[in-house]
Amino acid sequence: MDPRALFRPAGTMLALSLLVMPARAQAPADTARRATLAGSTATLLRGGSMGELLAVYVPRLETEVQRLLEDAREVERSATGEVETTRRLALDADGRARIMREEIQTTRVRWDVARAAKDPAALAALDASYRRQVKERVYLEQLRDALRADAERLEADRAAAAAGVKALELELLVARKNLDLSGPVAPPAAVAQYRALLRQMLDAQQAAAIRARDAADRRRLVAERKLRQLESLNRLSTPESRRR
């Protein structure tokens, strides 16, 4: 018998063991790699999608929202009442300015007559009347413009308050629904209803902010107009050189 034949089984087993050992050693590494790949898909949302949905809006105290709602309703009522009064005052100022323009025309005619008659005393008196009337006309026009701007500001305040009322009413509903969904299990229909209600509230808040910005711009314009009104009022008592 060939002595080498005795060693063939042992050599074969050794070769097989060398082939199998790397495969066994490789198994933990493959498992760890698969675990890493699986772990990379884990969510980072706190509380899951439901928890994040409830975190979109953190409810305020209902008493605070109710107070803000009543304040907004009062602003809306007040602005609605004041806007008509302010418009009437603007019409009155416009009427007085129109009358003053007619008075100025009359004064000019009388001044021409006094000049043709070469009456120095009458010319001096008419010069003074003319300058005073021009100042009054300018003041009345500035008053009219300020009142018109104020009426537009009140209308913008009313619209902003109405938009705020709508947003706050929706906020009350969302706050109550938010508490209802804070339990362990929320029905899908209730979640869908909450999503829709939340979107309505956010849309209403956006609209209210736009209205409030418009009202703020109107208030700035009113301040501008009233400053001009004040300047023209000051000129009424300021002496100026004699001129026509």
Write the DSSP assignment of 45-110 as a string of letters: -TTHHHHHHHHSS-PPPHHHHHHHHHHHHHHHHHHHHHHHHHHHHHHHHHHHHHHHHHHHHHHHHH
pLDDT of residue 178: 84
Give me the domains of the chain, ranges plus CATH numbers: 48-236 (1.20.1270)
CB-CB contact of 152 with 218 (8 Å):
yes
- pLDDT grade for 43, boundaries at 50, 70 and 90: low
**What mean pLDDT do residues 223-237 have?**
92
pLDDT digits (tens, 9 = 90+) for 155-205: 999 999 999 999 999 999 998 888 888 767 778 888 889 999 999 999 999
Q: What confidence category does residue 2 fall into, taking pLDDT thresholds of 50, 70 and 90? A: very low
Of residues 207 and 51, which shows the higher confidence score? Answer: 207
Q: Of 22-26, 196-200, 217-221, which gets the smallest average pLDDT?
A: 22-26
Say which amino acid occupies 7.
Answer: F
Q: What is the pLDDT of residues 56-66, one digit of tens each?
A: 888 888 899 99
The set of residues, in sequence order, having a beta carbon less than 8 Å from that of 73 and lying 6+ positions away, is: 161, 165
Cβ atoms within 10 Å of 45's Cβ, excluding its own: 11
What's the pLDDT score for residue 121? 94
The pLDDT of residue 44 is 58
Reported as a pLDDT band with limits 50, 70 and 90, residue 236 is confident
Phi, psi of 117 (to 5 degrees): -85, -5
Region of poorest pLDDT, from 20-34, 40-54, 110-124, 163-177: 20-34
Residue indicated by tokens 């938010």:
178
Q: 6: pLDDT confidence band, cut at 50, 70 and 90?
A: very low
Number of H helices, E strands in the chain: 5, 0
Q: Does residue 216 carry a pLDDT above 60?
A: yes
**Residue 45 has what pLDDT?**
53
Mean pLDDT value across residues 36-47: 53
- pLDDT value for 35: 46
SS3 for 170? helix
* Residue-level pLDDT at 72: 95
Q: What percent of the chain has pLDDT over 70?
A: 77
221 vs 16 pLDDT, higher one: 221
- Could you say which DSSP state residue 1 is in? -
Whether the pLDDT of residue 22 is over 50: the answer is no
Q: Report residue 55's pLDDT band, with 50, 70 and 90 as the boundaries.
A: confident
Residue among 173, 162, 198, 189 nearest 74 (CA): 162
Closest by CA to 218, choosing from 228, 230, 206, 226, is 226
144, two tokens: 């009219």
